[in-house]
Each structure stands twice: as structure tokens, then as C-alpha cells.
Structure 1
Amino acid sequence: AGDAQEELSWTAPTNTGTSADGTTPPISKYTVYWGTDSTAADLKTNGTAVTVNTGTPINTSVTIDSLTNGTIYYFTVTAWNAHGESSPVDPPESATPVPAGTVTGVSITGADTVIYGDTSQFTATVTPTDAFNKDITWSVTGGTGTATIDQTGELTATKAGTVTVKATSDADSTIFAEKTVTISPRDVSVDPTRVHIYALNATISAASDSTYTMTLGTQKLGSLPFVAGTDYDLSLKETHAPFTITNAGTITIPANTFTAGTTHVYTVVLTPKGNYTASAAMTDQFALTVN
């Protein structure tokens, strides 16, 4: 729709009927019916009729002028040939003309997926291109995930899940676009955010309780949290181990669990969760030497 007008176009029918002599009579004209009635039958009865009969073949477009901006109009079309007039297109098309420079639409361009902790730039396009006010207000709504977005359209992913990015026209708050974005967990088994497990060997006494604490080393996680129990769990691969490991990495070995003069090897497994994932196994072994 334009300023007080509507440019209409349609596709010529492929089946126009067959005459008794086997010929197919061509289209001789079209009639466009328009008005504020919303059904094709009412438009044909009560609407304004405009005849299109120029061109070879007959043109399939017309501009309707002198409309009132802000009013919803409906349009249907019929075709004519030697057999008479066809039925009108049903349902009719609708359009609302607006003054020149009025914002009629907003669209969003940007990533479908953003990794937790990363930023991503989103862009809004306002239509028409000659709109007087192309300013946009950005917002984001959390679904299963969360994110923030500034007024330049830069999104920061703050929790894995889904969020909805919204760009709203400052000229008309009822005109906006939305885009669903997936915040994917960050892979901590590969660079540049690799997390290392350092399970150092230990020497314990067979006759007394012994405590061993594993250490986590991180690389390039920056300010992102990586909290035991919330972001990862620790466990021992060996189900026969006579002790367990806490998410803090602490192992308590009761006295007389092992025989003096023996060595035992165990594997610590780190399992990311929540905002994190791992595409490769995250393990390290340590040896307990008993004296």
C-alpha cells in the first residue's frame, strides 16, 4: 500500500474455457472490485468497479487512487472473455494505505545460534526505505535461556537455552519483528575455552585417614563462571573404588582401606552441564601410593 493508493497485480488465468469449435477465447478485460466489504460477493455487489482492458495481452495490474490513509480496503478481480465474466477471486486481498514515510514493517537479521558467553550482532531493517523514522528499540526476552542486548543490537548470551530478540519501531510500537535465538552450551573440551583436569599423584598412609584434593585448571574462560555442582560434576570412572569424590574434588580415604606397599590408579571424570558441554572425554588419572 502507498500514500492514499494501492498498486494491484494478479496472474492471468490459465484455463479460460473452450468454445464449441474447440478454440479457447482470450481474456478481453478484467474488472477489479474494491471497497471496505471483506467478502468477494459483497465487493462485487457494493464495491467500486474498475475496468482493465488495455495491453496485449490484457494488462494484469492497476493502481487504485483516492483512498483514505489508515482505512482497510479489500480487492478482488474477475476475468472476461466470450464466455462472460468469471467468479471473483475469493477471499479478497486487503491493504491499508498510509502516508508517505510511514513505517510499515521491521525485519531482523542475525545468528540463529549463539554460544554461551559470546556476543553476536543483530541488525534491524525498517520498511519502507524512505520511512521518516527508522529508529529501533532492541529488547530480549528469556525463554529457557537468557541474554542481554544493547541498543546497537549486540546480544550477549548469558544462559544456555532459547531467547526471543525483538526490534520495535520507535515510530509505531505496534510494528516490530521477533527472532528466536538458541544459546548453545560452551564446549570446554576444546580451545579457546579448554578446561584441564590436574589429578596429581599422592602418597597416603595405610593406617590413617587421608584426604586428597584434585585441582582444576582453566584456560581462556575469562570472566565466565565454572562452578562445581552448578556447571560440572566430578566422578570416578572406577565403580569399584572404595571411596567417592565430591564436586569440589575432595577424596577422603578411610584408614586401613589399602595395604601398605601398594599403588592404585584411578580416573577422575569431569562432566559439564548447564551452560557447558564437552565434545571429548575430560578425564585424568592419578596414582595413590600407600606406605
Structure 2
Amino acid sequence: MTEQEKLQEEIINKRKEINRLRKDPSNPPGWITQAEKELERLENEYRYHFEGGDKPTVDHLGRPIKQSKEENKEQEKQALEEKIKRLQQQLNMAKRLRKEGHPTYTDYEIQKLEEPLAKAKEEYKSKFGELPSSLRDNNEICVEATDVNEGLEYLPMSLAESTKRARFGFNRIGYSDIECSSHGTDAKCKAIQDELRPYDYDLEAWQLAHPERMIIARPEYFTNADNKKIDRLEQKQENLTEVFTPSVVPATEIGRETKRNKELTREQKLSRINYLEKELKEISKQRKDLERNQSRSET
């Protein structure tokens, strides 16, 4: 019997033991609690060894397992990386809002956000060496390094996906802005910023809202359908449908959206609603086209 099979058998036996204890009301509740803790430990151990789960933190007696120095160092490194990412995201968001004239974010407020980020990076360098590329980046894209002068529809989808903005049920990920240098007059930065602003700087959202330009520039996005593309479109359609169905939106998300909407002008709100409606219709159309092409290829 392999180690995996032995552990599986232990888990099965422990579940049977818990069921027996529950059937007899004369058994003290503490016995059941202890057995459940033991079952949880066995399941965590199984996931760690055979399913790539987290390492168990307690032994069979419920005592904390001491971590090695290497494990403690790796845990500290991961925590510091997460802190740097979080501070960088906050700083990027503050810079973007300042560019748009938000009164809250002055130069002083920006400096207050820059200081803890600089300290966290220095701490990382002193303990773990050079920052990885993912932490060195400013989470900004320079349009001078792209073929953006040809039109936003010509930018690759990989870049578009990385500029996703927060929506219902989504975290704020990707690039916080589409940037350009002050000397980049050929990049037409202001026009690009103005065009993306109604879509919250979400390049993928802009591309989805302009299928008539995308199908000319990127016809491959509309052909060669496969199940993954259909699944992705179904998920997008489901997420957007939830936007127009308040009853299924969690109260916390409604609160966040209400607070954010207070900062938007009426024109921006209408632009956002129009964009969402267009995206929902376009995704529905794309999904039908993909399924139709797939059925044709199968026949």
C-alpha cells in the first residue's frame, strides 16, 4: 500500500469514527470536536503531499509545527512582496486620480504614499537582494513603446487583458494607467487618455466596445473558435448580466460601486452604462458567432 493510499484509508476511517460518535448522544461533545480536528489535519496533510496544498500548521495533537528558518524566510519574503504590490497599486491609483483633477490627491498625499513604498523596497533589497521584475515595474505602460499610433484596435490582446479595471466581483489588477513620456509628442498621449477614460483605462473594454474596428484590425479574434473562447465569453456575459441585476450583487459590492459613482460626473456614468450595454450585446453576438463557426467546423 502506498503512502497516498494509507492516508486515504486513515481519512475514511476517521470519517466513520466521527459518524459513530455523532450517532451516540451519550458521547461527550469534546470527543467529536477532537475527532473533527484530527480529520481536518489528515485532509490538510493529504492536500499538501498529493494535491499541492499548503503545508499543515499543526501536528496530530493539535500543536503548532515549528517552521524551518528557510520556511520562515520564504514566508517573510512573500509577505513583503505582497506589501510592495499593494502599496504600488495604491500609489498608481492616487497618481491617476491626481491627473484627472481629483482634489483629494495633492503632491503631499502622493509623497505620503511614496515613502512607505520606498521603505518596503529598501527592506526587501537588504534582506533578499534585487527586486524581481514584477516589483520593479511601475505597473504602467508607455505608449511610445507600442504601435498605438496605428489605433487602439492594433494593440495586442495580451496587453488589453493586463489593463483590466475593477468591476463587480473583480479585484483591481493589471496596469493602473496607459502612460507616455512628456517628450513623446508623436504618441498623441492626450487623445489616447481621453479615448480610454470612459472605459476606466480598460483597453480590453475599449476593444470589446468597438467590434467594427477590431474585426478589421484583428480578424483572428473572431474566427477559429474553440471551447475556451466560448467559455470565456459565457463568463463575461454572466458577469455583465449581474451588473444589470441588482438582486444578485453582494451588498458590499453595491456599497463600493455607490461610493465610486459619487465621484463620477453624470456624463461619465452614462458613458459607463452605454459601454456596459454595448459590451453585453457584443459578447452575446460573439458567443453566437463562435458557436456557429464551431458547429460548421464539426460538420
Q: Same fold (TM over 0.5)?
A: no
Q: TM-score range with shorter-chain normalisation?
A: under 0.3
Name the one with the larger helix percent. Answer: 2
- Higher Cα Rg: structure 1 or 2? 1
* TM-score (normalised: structure 1): 0.24
Name the one with the larger strand percent. Answer: 1
